[in-house]
A and B are shown apart, each in its own frame.
Chain A
Amino acid sequence: MIRLCKIFSILIIVLCLFSGCVQVGSADDSPHIRNFFAMDTYMTVTAYGENGKAAVQAAEDRVYELDALLNAESRDSEIYSLNENGTATLSDDTASVLKSALYCCELTDGAFNPAMHPVMRLWGFTSGKYNVPSNESIKEALKLTKPSKISLKENKATINLKGTEIDLGGIAKGYTSSEIMQIFKYNKVKSGIVNLGGNVQTVGLKPDGSDWSVAIDNPDSDGSYLGVLKTHDKAVITSGGYERNFKKNGMTYHHIIDPTTGYPAENGLVSATVVAEDGALADALSTALFVMGEKKSENFWRNNKENFDFILYTEQRKIIASDGIKDSFKTELEMKVIS
């Protein structure tokens, strides 16, 4: 009888352990999430698995670090001192972002321009004190937006025309999300996603082995989407005039300034989304495509097919998507595929 009791007790203990093990096993897939404000936006960083906690903490610290270096409006940033002094020896991070920015500028034939700061300031987009500048002042300011006047040799940056100022706002968040992906990989996080105020980037697949579902915001109505993109290991970054704008005398002026005119870009697009492995590239190109408009964007993509894919939302409320993502993007709207 005592023997039977012992067997019975052991059975129960084994069962309890077994159920305990199963629960420990599933806890490995749990998400670690950090929400915080940085770079003027709300950020959500999510990493799955046992290393996730350390990874998201490291990611948050990295964001603050990059924010402090790259913010052109902050007096303590390297970019501020470069703009102020005309020359500076940059940290590896800042140099790397500036290098990407200049590369994207060249690639897009100036549609993405990291030297638009003087014009942005004129419109008040740097301070929030919006106003519509005069034609003359815009023409004057445009003279100070030539990226060719910026030179970068190793880490030493020089501005060769006084008054020219660098603004990395159009690429900093994309660079940051790519950096977070590096941190995730370094921490052996197999599954993670970041959303830096609408700039989305993913590492690996979801813990259940499926693709991430990234919705593209529909600016026409709150909470609805243009469609949903199934993706992995990619950055998905959208630019549109609806993100930041102001109204004056019945006109809406948005923050994506066409570098050739100095006025908000009006080339028939509501938003431009770029899907690419490199976050910095995706960030810069989404701005560039928005500035280029439909036709130029299509031609630009044909010459750079291997580097990115795009989804454009036109003022006619149509979707134009590139061939590479036509199968992974689901939308209810009319969609034209470019190949």
Chain B
Amino acid sequence: MTKRIAKTGLFVALAMIFSYIEALIPLNFGIPGVKLGIANIVVVAALYQLNIPEAAGISFLRILLMGILFGNIVSLAYSFSGGVLSFLGMVICKKLKLSVIGVSIVGGVLHNVGQLTAAAFILQSAAITYYFPVLLVSGLVTGFLIGIVSYRVNKSLDKLSQKHTDN
């Protein structure tokens, strides 16, 4: 039990570091909302290494803490709806036996969809749907890249825990 709590805490910390690194990279695609989403590596890994409630906890704690530390209520609402939609989608896809890459792609796409929907509500304007197709494709591409990394991370973690149980 303590081991799981420690692990979860480690994952949250890692996810926050990844979010922070992401914010440091001045990657401007000219479209609001397009980013790599490297923190999702941690969430995907948690989904495979831990169980669903723990992964959910990690994802939402990360969003909440990053929002409190660096954001405001608006940006929090924004990432929260992205996070919820993305997480639910990933859980469903995992159950549907998609591979890590497929799960990551769906996560990336739905994260963008969630953020876009929140933005449309906050702005009370449908103008933002103009970005919809772009964000779908960007979610697909970044989800794919993140998926490959997550696959490798999972493989290493699997080996690592194998060794642990062996010893």
Contact = CB atoms under 8 A, between A and B. Distances in A.
Query: In the complex, is A directly touching B at CB under 8 Å?
Result: yes
A2 interface: no
A19 B133 contact: yes
A7 interface: no
Contact of A8 (B133, B134, B137, B144): B144
Nearest to B137: A15
Interface in B93-115: none
Interface residues of B, number: 6
Interface residues on A, range: under 10
B140 interface: yes
A16 B144 contact: no
A12 interface: yes
A109 to B, nearest CB: 58
B17 interface: no
Contacts of A8: 144
B141 interface: yes
A16 B140 CA distance: 12
Tell me whether chain B's interface is mostly helix, strand or loop, or mixed: helix
A248 B151 CA distance: 88
Interface in A1-50: 8, 12, 15-16, 19
Nearest to B133: A19
Nearest to B140: A12
A7 to B, nearest CB: 13
A19 B140 CA distance: 15
B141 A12 contact: yes
A15 B136 CA distance: 12
A15 B134 CA distance: 10
Nearest to B134: A19
Contacts of A12: 137, 140-141
Contacts of B134: 19
A277 B40 CA distance: 65
Contacts of A16: 137
Interface string B126-149: 000000011001001100100000
Interface in B4-25: none
Contacts of B137: 12, 15-16, 19
Nearest to A8: B144
Nearest to A12: B141
Contacts of A15: 137
A294 B141 CA distance: 70
9 contacts: A8-B144, A12-B137, A12-B140, A12-B141, A15-B137, A16-B137, A19-B133, A19-B134, A19-B137
Given A16-B137, A19-B137, 7 more contacts: A8-B144, A12-B137, A12-B140, A12-B141, A15-B137, A19-B133, A19-B134
